[in-house]
């Protein structure tokens, strides 16, 4: 990809555990951008994701998630971290990709799953419960991530700080 100064925000996509939240927040600080996490924005409007999903189900969660994406899609000078499934539903990526550098944070599926820790946690009910479930969900989402990303960063073996440095380096290399 060549130089393109029209990118006024960064959208991070990828499987849970890929450091979208931690690296995204750190990259935003380094770039002096706002930081927006779609899950946190959802919680401000609709309450905890786990409670919402338990009471209302995933289909309604995905509809409300798109409401949040519409709300934040106009933000400029921002790093936006999406939920792992956000790119896979509705018009979310169409809303987020205009004027955005879309970066897919990726890693080996075993490492992603290990980063999730207690994936059975009630705080994150949509996470896979086993490595086999994680691998199946990853295979389902991978083509969507590939289709929308301008850049893929393999974070296998990275710390969140290293992932953030890579995000910043790529962004600066494209806009300067």
Q: How many CB atoms lie within 10 A of CB 96?
A: 24
Task: Give percent of the chain with pLDDT exceeding 90.
Answer: 67
pLDDT exceeds 70 at position 5:
no
pLDDT exceeds 50 at position 126:
yes
What CATH number labels 9-175?
A: 3.40.50.300
Tell me the mean pLDDT in the region 29-48: 94
Asked whether 17 and 115 are in contact (CB, 8 A), the reply is yes
Tell me the domain boundaries of the chain. Answer: 9-175
CA proximity to 93, closest of 148, 152, 170, 23: 148
Q: How confident is the model at residue 116 (pLDDT cuts 50, 70, 90)?
A: confident
pLDDT at 138: 94
Q: Which of 91-95, 123-127, 157-161 has the highest mean pLDDT?
A: 157-161
Give me the DSSP letters along 38-60: HHHHHHHHH--HHHHHHHH-HHH
State the pTM of this model: 0.90
């Amino acid at each position: 990809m060549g130089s393109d100064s029209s990118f006024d925000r960064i959208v991070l996509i990828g499987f849970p555990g890929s450091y979208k939240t931690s690296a995204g927040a750190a990259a935003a600080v380094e770039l002096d951008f706002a930081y927006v996490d779609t899950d946190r924005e959802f919680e401000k409007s609709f309450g905890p994701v786990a409670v919402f999903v338990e009471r209302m189900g995933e289909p309604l969660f995905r509809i409300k998630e798109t409401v949040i994406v519409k709300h934040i899609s106009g933000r400029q000078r921002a790093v936006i971290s999406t939920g792992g499934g956000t790119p896979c539903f509705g018009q979310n990526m169409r809303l987020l990709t205009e004027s955005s550098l879309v970066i897919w944070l990726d890693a080996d599926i075993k490492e992603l799953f290990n980063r999730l820790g207690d994936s059975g946690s009630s705080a994150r009910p949509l996470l896979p419960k086993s490595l086999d479930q994680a691998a199946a969900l990853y295979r389902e989402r991978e083509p969507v991530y590939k289709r929308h990303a301008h850049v893929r960063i393999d974070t296998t073996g990275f710390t969140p700080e290293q992932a953030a440095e890579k995000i910043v380096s790529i962004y600066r290399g494209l806009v300067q």
